[in-house]
Structure 1
Amino acid sequence: MVLRSRRGVLQLGGATLALLAGCTSNSNLENRSTTPATDTPTTTSSTTTSRPTTTDSGDVTVENVRATPALVAPNTPDSISTLGERDEQFVLATVAGYGMSIPDRDKFVLETTVDSYPPVDKSFVYALWDDEDGYTSIPDDPLIFSVPKPLNATELSLRWPDGDFAVDEALIQTLTRPPTDFVTELSAPKSVTRGYEASVTLTVENTGSVAGTFVGALNRVGPNVAYTPVTGISLEIAAGESETWTHSYAPSPHSTDDDPAATFHLNWRGGRQSKIIDVEPV
């Protein structure tokens, strides 16, 4: 199942999505994963900046401002998928207060010179997926804003009473990119012997005329588990280019399944692909 967006209806959650942890200014996000170290790192367009500003309630710091065309979030209690329509994208920002308090989340607004966007509502998605912590649901961190894709803007600011934060030009350029198209291929060996590793490989081709970010969510069924999230995937791909991402899977040496197999399901905006790996005895 692929989650679909209801514009402006989304619960705030998660420290960072699998999308997806922060890094230095205007570089790709350095992502975290619960999967083995052989996984190819995922990337998400971002800008990370920190600048304290003073409000009546004390100091407010805005940092780790980033953008993604889709969010990775639970679609059931035991699986993850992506959220966001083709003509939609998300801006996330972490705010912290060093005085008595910070303004309520509904006091923040993301503004261009002609349009304004409030934080998304909390009633649709109850959590985001974080590769390090699993499902996370933190009511006010990060702030999440749904904006059009592409965004028609040359200036963009996060504003609140008595304060503002100018979004970096490089991130604005990312937000002004139109949607692009991807072709995906998920591959895996037919079987793996207990005690050995098998590689699940995702190849994504950007068939459009502009660079874009592919966002996906990988789940596994079996052995010995009905359904479990594996990881979120985010790949920045130039127009006409392809990127390959690999997940290493090592089955447990012990299984109670009569016919053990691991089925991997990739969910993304374009649909779903699956691969089955039979688990053979030693």
Structure 2
Amino acid sequence: MRRRHLLALVGSLVAGSGCTGTSGEPTADGTVTPAPVPSPSDAPTTPDSTGDVEITAAAVQPGIVQPRIDSIGVTDDAGQYLVVDVAGNAPDRSDIELRFSGASYLPEELRRPLYRGDFSGETYGEDGGPLVFGLPETGDATDAELYWGEGRWAPSAETVERLEDPLPPFSVTLDGPETAGAGSNPQVTITVTNEGEGAGRYVLALNRQGPRVAYTPVGRLAGELDPGASKRHTVDAVPPDGDRSTQYTLDVPGRQDRLRHVISSADGDDA
């Protein structure tokens, strides 16, 4: 298992407590078997030849976000992930495989659903849904195709390029006010910068502790950045309640510890 290195530029931020960590807790199983590149004689000849299967989206990213018991966290056990959204008369999951760099990959057996905004998560079923493929960090994607029964789908030239190029490193910061008073409207900011030489996608998971909850998800943050570009996410924060502080933790691919920011009460000492 190879985790991609991400830089964290967070001043005094330290690892927070909670239950969103990913180390020591595998959440996805993948199957990889050697497979030759299919020849024209044994491969379907037309994309989506079943006629009623639609691939609505495809994304290459360093991790996936999944619900935990009372929070959300990033899973990043693979070199990179390809997430494909299927709609229409979806084929059975067991009939689907991805050819990539001379090998065959089955969809990940997710022990928890994919989180993209709904805490109950998204799963693949009769009506389709997301398929997740854990792949090596790089490879020859000229043969990349998704197969099922009599149908197939080839990724776009941009997706092929993303599969072949290593995902760029990102620097991530989590900031906010050190104190806030009751009834105030504090905000926390997450800034992501692409420090690599190519474009890439980032995926983060933000959670909150306090002032009167043990843990609760805030949201998944994701986006595409060109080399040298930055994106700033601003999130409305919950102010402290009496002497109870508010803490935000951010799960970042490639980090075993989470970024942490605490907002203490401006009206008195924390308990």
Same fold (TM over 0.5): yes
* Runs ≥4 residues deviating over 6 A: none
Contact 2:225–2:231 at 8 Å: present in 1 too? Answer: yes
Distance 1:95 1:148, change over 3 A: farther
Q: CA deviation at 1:112?
A: 3.6
What is the distance in 1 between the residues matched to 2:166 and 2:250? Answer: 24
**Does 2:201 correspond to 1:213?**
yes
Indicate the SS of the match to 2:109. Answer: coil
What are the equivalent positions in structure 2 for 1:96-175 lying under 5 Å apart? 96-97=88-89, 102-112=90-100, 114-122=102-110, 125-131=111-117, 133-140=118-125, 141-175=129-163
Structure 1 residue 155, shift from structure 2 partner: 3.9
| Deviation (angstroms), 1:189 | 0.4
CA distance in structure 2 between the partners assigned to 1:214 and 1:234 by the alignment: 5
How far did residue 185 of structure 1 move? 1.9
RMSD between aligned residues: 2.8
* Aligned position for 1:27: none
Closer, same or farther: CA 161–143 of 1 in aligned 2, 3 Å: same
User: Are 1:63 and 2:56 matched, yes or no?
Assistant: yes
Q: Distance in 1 between matches of 2:227 and 2:27?
A: 27
After superposition, give the CA deviation of every residue in 1:213-245 in whole Å (9 maximum; x if it has no partner): 222111000111110000111132333333322
1:263 aligns with 2:251: no
Under a length normalisation based on structure 1, what TM-score does the superposition of the two structures give? 0.70
* Paired residue secondary structure (1:171): helix
Aligned residue pairs total 227
Q: What runs of 5+ residues in structure 2 fail to find an aligned partner?
A: 1-19, 31-46
Which residue in the other structure is 2:50 paired with?
A: 54
8 A contact 1:65–1:94 mirrored in 2: no
Aligned partners of 1:192 and 1:7: how far apart in 2? 37
Structure-2 change in CA distance of 1:78 and 1:188 (3 Å): same
Paired amino acid for 1:268: V
Distance in 2, Cα, partners of 1:60 & 1:232: 28
Q: Structure 2 CA distance, aligned partners of 1:118 and 1:86?
A: 14
Would the alpha carbon gap of residues 151 and 89 (structure 1) be closer, same or farther in structure 2, given more than 3 Å must change? farther
Percentage of pairs with the same residue: 29
Q: Does 1:3 align with 2:22?
A: yes
1:91 aligns with 2:88: no
Q: Distance in 2 between matches of 1:67 and 1:96?
A: 22
Question: 8 Å contact 1:111–1:117 — kept in the other structure?
Answer: yes
**Deviation sequence 1:230-262 (CA, Å, 0-9, x none):** 01111323333333221122449xx5xx51211
Greater C-alpha Rg: 2
Q: State the SS of the aligned residue for 1:135.
A: coil
* Secondary structure, aligned partner of 2:94: helix
Maintained 8 Å contact 1:7/1:146? no
- Which amino acid in 2 is paired with 1:218? L
Deviations 1:178-216 (A, max 9, x none): 132222221110122333311211222333333332221
Q: 1:118 to 1:95 in 2, by over 3 A?
A: farther
Deviations 1:19-78 (A, max 9, x none): xxxxxxxxxxxxxxxxxxxxxxxxxxxxxxxx86427xxx3333223332210112x301
SS at match of 2:162: helix
Structure 1 regions of 5+ residues with no counterpart? 11-50
Query: 1:279 Cα shift?
Result: 4.1
Structure 1 CA distance for aligned equivalents of residues 123 and 209 of structure 2: 28
